[in-house]
């Protein structure tokens, strides 16, 4: 009895493959039909040659169906064809021409279908990945995801286009070969079948070994891709710390292990292929020897023997293909399982009847607690109110929960039921449509990310149809306009991957400008001024006040000067709010804020002198 879990897994794989095949089914159908017709043409040539040798030349009495004999009689009978063998030669040429035409249609339709399949898979995967939760991306390596979206897709494409589409051709060849072989000589056909059960069982035996081997290879290819991706994007860090040799050794060690896996798998496959070759050779040897004996004894005619050898070769091709199909099926099974992991990962979902309220009211955290998966609590019973149109400053040490609060507000991480509530304008954010909420919250993350595009494209990426005037205004507000104008190509200056051609402060200001183009009612700056000097920091804050006086602004920073103008300041420690108030209140409160203020202002040093 089949394992129910395995049966369910195979059913899920089939459903996913059918989903990907939408848009290419018709083309694959045409390719399969043309492949089957090409196989039918292959079947006709040996019969024409058989008739030429035994009937037209040998004068043997015909043993063909009535409809075939009517066609022969219409041409003048086998006697006439024996005198005009060019007619039978022409028939072979016509059949070959039909086969070529069928193969042409097969190649064209199969190529179109396979490329359509690849496009569908890539589009579907990319769209689904774009809608997966932020937490999912944090748990999965980028290199491994890329490998699943490239080589695994190519593996599936190769299997469907090269193996699966040949199924009809194989079936036609298998069935017709057996029919013609049985009709010519039953004992010789049974002899031809003696090694075949052994070949089939032997092939199935290796199926699981192939699957496990390909899975190991795919997983380690993902690790290798991750190493390459990390070193290419982090090349400045590697160079800065002189870790080229260390990273090279790590890569070579992983590459050697990966190569060893393929060598081990290659050994298993070589063992299989060589054994299959021996069994196939034995089968052909049996047919040739016993067929020759039957011809000598008069049980079989020369033309039948030639045709039988041809059909046996055609029969062995599908049997040999079985091994390759099993090998490719193992690879495809691993690849579709890896792709299915992505597709089965639940995308962000809004609750039924999600709301689209005005995002301009007070922001309220009410007894909010949160912990990342398998980690201790990051926030513990956090409660505060940020009035609309005010500026909230947040200060705290590393790991105190500052950024986590903003991730929760922007729904980058879901706040579970029973862990408190976060409301905007009195509406629980769990009930607000996610993309609506995010369109109204501008956030500059702690680590700014720029795409490999021009500066203007990076600034305008948050809003469709942003004109150059708006881009320049946002750049001016972020104190980036003078820097951009100093570049030879100005706003058309191309930014390298992750903004590698810009300094840390320039990247931060570009990220700020990008957020400002949206003119959102709530803006979050998560330690986004840390890489700019104090003077530029002050200028940016002044321009923000001037440009967005009515917006609610959240400033997360370690600088007291950045937070000093905020209407309210929260001090976090260990995931709890330990102090809150204005700058003037907190700098004399005797707590963490006062200590940091004195250190940064220099008064602490003066007090000890």
Task: Map out the domains of the chain with their CATH numbers.
Answer: 4-344 (1.20.1560.10), 359-440+523-528+552-609 (3.40.50.300), 443-519 (3.40.50.300)
- Predicted confidence at residue 607, as pLDDT, reads 40
What's the rounded mean pLDDT across residues 258-262? 85
- In 372-521, which ranges are E strands? 377-386, 391-396, 421-424, 427-428, 441-444
Q: Which residue has the higher pLDDT, 403 or 71?
A: 403
The pLDDT confidence band at residue 578, using thresholds 50, 70 and 90, is: very high
Question: What element of type H or E holds 352?
Answer: none
d(CA 471, CA 467): 6
The 10s digit of each residue's pLDDT in 131-153 is: 888 888 888 887 788 888 888 88
Is it the case that residue 370 has pLDDT exceeding 90?
A: yes
- Predicted confidence at residue 334, as pLDDT, reads 78
Is it the case that residue 576 has pLDDT exceeding 80?
A: yes
- Predicted confidence at residue 64, as pLDDT, reads 67
- Predicted confidence at residue 1, as pLDDT, reads 42
What's the rounded mean pLDDT across residues 228-254? 77
Structure tokens at 318: 């599908």
d(CA 60, CA 51): 9
What is the bridge-based pairing of β-strands 568-573 and 391-396? parallel
CB atoms within 10 A of CB 59: 10
- Predicted confidence at residue 273, as pLDDT, reads 73
Is it the case that residue 101 has pLDDT exceeding 90?
A: yes
What's the rounded mean pLDDT across residues 436-448? 83
- Predicted confidence at residue 365, as pLDDT, reads 94
Residues 6+ apart with CB under 8 A from 205: none
What's the rounded mean pLDDT across residues 348-365? 88
Is it the case that residue 218 has pLDDT exceeding 50?
A: yes
Q: Give me the residues paired with residue 555 across strands.
A: 393, 525
The pLDDT confidence band at residue 530, using thresholds 50, 70 and 90, is: low
- Predicted confidence at residue 605, as pLDDT, reads 47
Q: Which residue has the higher pLDDT, 329 or 569?
A: 569
What's the rounded mean pLDDT across residues 125-132? 89
Q: Which residue has the higher pLDDT, 136 or 609?
A: 136
The 10s digit of each residue's pLDDT in 154-188 is: 888 888 887 777 767 777 777 777 777 777 778 88
Residues 6+ apart with CB under 8 A from 71: none
CA 113 to each of CA 117, 160, 335, 347, 470: distance values in angstroms, whole numbers, following the listed order: 6, 10, 19, 28, 45
What's the rounded mean pLDDT across residues 11-17? 80
- Predicted confidence at residue 435, as pLDDT, reads 87
What's the rounded mean pLDDT across residues 229-243? 72
Structure tokens at 232: 């290419």
Sheet bearing 522-526, strands edge to edge? 441-444, 522-526, 552-556, 391-396, 568-573, 576-581
Helices (H), 234-351: 235-240, 244-296, 302-344
- Predicted confidence at residue 311, as pLDDT, reads 75
What's the rounded mean pLDDT across residues 190-213? 71
The 10s digit of each residue's pLDDT in 56-71 is: 676 666 566 676 777 7
What's the rounded mean pLDDT across residues 409-431? 90
The pLDDT confidence band at residue 501, using thresholds 50, 70 and 90, is: low
Question: What element of type H or E holds 155?
Answer: helix 142-158
Choice among 95-104, 131-140, 221-230, 451-460 with the minimum mean pLDDT: 221-230
The pLDDT confidence band at residue 403, using thresholds 50, 70 and 90, is: confident
What's the rounded mean pLDDT across residues 559-584? 89
Which DSSP letter does residue 360 get? -
Longest dimension (CA), the chain: 126
Look-up of token digits 């049980």: 299
Contact 477, 513 (CB under 8 A): yes
Phi-psi region of 274 (alpha: psi -120 to 50; beta: other; left: phi over 0): alpha
Percentage of the chain lying above the pLDDT 90 cut: 9
The pLDDT confidence band at residue 421, using thresholds 50, 70 and 90, is: very high
Query: Which class for 508: exposed (0-12), middle (13-18), buried (19 or more C-beta within 10 A)?
Result: buried
- Predicted confidence at residue 108, as pLDDT, reads 92
For 16, the 3-state DSSP assignment is helix
Which DSSP letter does residue 467 get? -
The pLDDT confidence band at residue 547, using thresholds 50, 70 and 90, is: low
Question: What element of type H or E holds 552?
Answer: strand 552-556
Q: Which residue has the higher pLDDT, 277 or 402?
A: 402
- Predicted confidence at residue 603, as pLDDT, reads 61
Is it the case that residue 604 has pLDDT exceeding 60?
A: no
Contact 429, 437 (CB under 8 A): yes
What's the rounded mean pLDDT across residues 76-97? 81
d(CA 267, CA 27): 37
Is it the case that residue 505 has pLDDT exceeding 90?
A: no
pTM: 0.72
CA 285 to each of CA 48, 180, 208, 292, 303: distance values in angstroms, whole numbers, following the listed order: 25, 20, 30, 11, 19
What is the bridge-based pairing of β-strands 363-371 and 421-424? antiparallel
Is it the case that residue 123 has pLDDT exceeding 60?
A: yes
The 10s digit of each residue's pLDDT in 289-337 is: 888 888 888 777 777 777 777 777 777 766 666 666 766 777 777 788 8
Quote the mean pLDDT of the chain.
80
The pLDDT confidence band at residue 482, using thresholds 50, 70 and 90, is: confident
For 604, the 3-state DSSP assignment is helix
Residues 6+ apart with CB under 8 A from 211: 330, 333, 334
- Predicted confidence at residue 606, as pLDDT, reads 45
Which DSSP letter does residue 520 get? -
Q: Which residue has the higher pLDDT, 510 or 583?
A: 583
d(CA 168, CA 106): 12
- Predicted confidence at residue 323, as pLDDT, reads 60
Is it the case that residue 271 has pLDDT exceeding 70?
A: yes
């Amino acid at each position: 009895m089949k394992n129910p879990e395995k049966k369910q897994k195979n059913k899920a794989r089939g459903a996913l493959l059918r989903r990907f095949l939408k848009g290419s089914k018709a083309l694959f159908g045409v390719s399969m039909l043309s492949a089957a017709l090409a196989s039918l043409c292959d079947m006709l040539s040996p019969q024409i040659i058989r008739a030429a040798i035994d009937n037209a030349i040998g004068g043997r009495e015909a043993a063909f169906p009535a409809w075939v004999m009517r066609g022969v009689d219409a041409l003048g009978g086998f006697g006439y064809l024996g005198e005009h063998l060019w007619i039978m030669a022409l028939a072979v040429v016509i059949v070959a021409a039909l086969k070529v035409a069928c193969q042409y249609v097969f190649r064209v339709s199969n190529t179109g279908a396979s490329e359509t399949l690849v496009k569908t898979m890539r589009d579907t995967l990319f769209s689904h990945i774009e809608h997966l939760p932020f937490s999912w991306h944090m748990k999965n390596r980028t290199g491994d995801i890329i490998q699943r979206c490239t080589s695994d897709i190519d593996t599936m494409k190769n299997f469907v286009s090269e193996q699966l589409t040949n199924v009809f051709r194989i079936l036609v060849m298998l069935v017709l070969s057996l029919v013609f072989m049985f009709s010519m000589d039953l004992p010789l056909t049974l002899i031809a079948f003696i090694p075949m059960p052994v070949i089939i069982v032997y092939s199935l035996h290796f199926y699981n070994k192939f699957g496990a081997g390909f899975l190991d290879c795919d997983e380690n290819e993902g690790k290798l891709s991750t190493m390459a991706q990390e070193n290419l994007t982090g090349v400045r860090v590697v160079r800065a710390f002189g870790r080229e040799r260390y990273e090279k050794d790590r890569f070579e060690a992983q590459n050697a292990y990966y190569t060893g896996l393929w060598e081990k798998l290659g050994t298993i496959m070589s063992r299989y292929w060589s054994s299959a070759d021996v069994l196939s050779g034995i089968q052909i040897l049996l047919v040739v020897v016993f067929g020759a004996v039957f011809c000598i004894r008069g049980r079989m005619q020369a033309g039948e023997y030639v045709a039988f050898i041809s059909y046996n070769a055609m029969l062995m091709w599908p049997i040999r293909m079985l091994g390759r199909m099993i090998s490719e099926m193992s690879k495809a099974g691993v690849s579709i399982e890896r792709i299915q992991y992505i597709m089965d990962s639940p995308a962000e979902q809004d609750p039924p009847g999600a709301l689209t309220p005005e995002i301009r009211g007070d922001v309220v955290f009410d007894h909010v607690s949160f912990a990342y998966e398998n980690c201790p609590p990051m926030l513990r019973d956090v409660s505060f109110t940020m009035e609309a149109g005010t500026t909230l400053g947040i200060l705290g040490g590393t790991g105190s929960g500052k950024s986590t609060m903003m991730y929760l507000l922007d729904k980058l991480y879901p706040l579970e039921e029973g862990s408190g509530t976060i409301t905007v304008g009195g509406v629980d954010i769990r009930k607000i449509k996610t993309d609506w909420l995010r369109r109204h919250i501008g956030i500059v993350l702690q680590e700014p990310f720029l795409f490999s595009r021009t500066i203007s494209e990076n600034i305008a990426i948050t809003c469709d149809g942003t004109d150059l005037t708006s881009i320049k205004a946002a750049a001016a507000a972020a104190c980036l306009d003078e820097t951009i104008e100093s570049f030879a190509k100005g706003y058309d200056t191309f930014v390298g991957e992750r903004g590698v051609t810009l300094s840390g402060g320039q990247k931060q200001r570009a990220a700020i400008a990008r957020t400002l183009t949206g003119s959102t009612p709530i803006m979050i700056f998560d330690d986004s001024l840390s890489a700019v000097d104090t003077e530029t920091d002050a200028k940016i804050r002044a321009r923000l006040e001037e440009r967005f006086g009515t917006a609610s602004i959240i400033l997360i920073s370690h600088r007291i000067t950045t937070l000093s103008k905020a209407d309210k300041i929260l001090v976090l420690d260990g995931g709890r709010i330990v102090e809150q108030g204005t700058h003037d209140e907190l700098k004399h409160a005797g707590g963490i804020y006062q200590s940091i203020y004195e250190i940064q202002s220099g008064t602490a040093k003066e007090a000890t002198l």
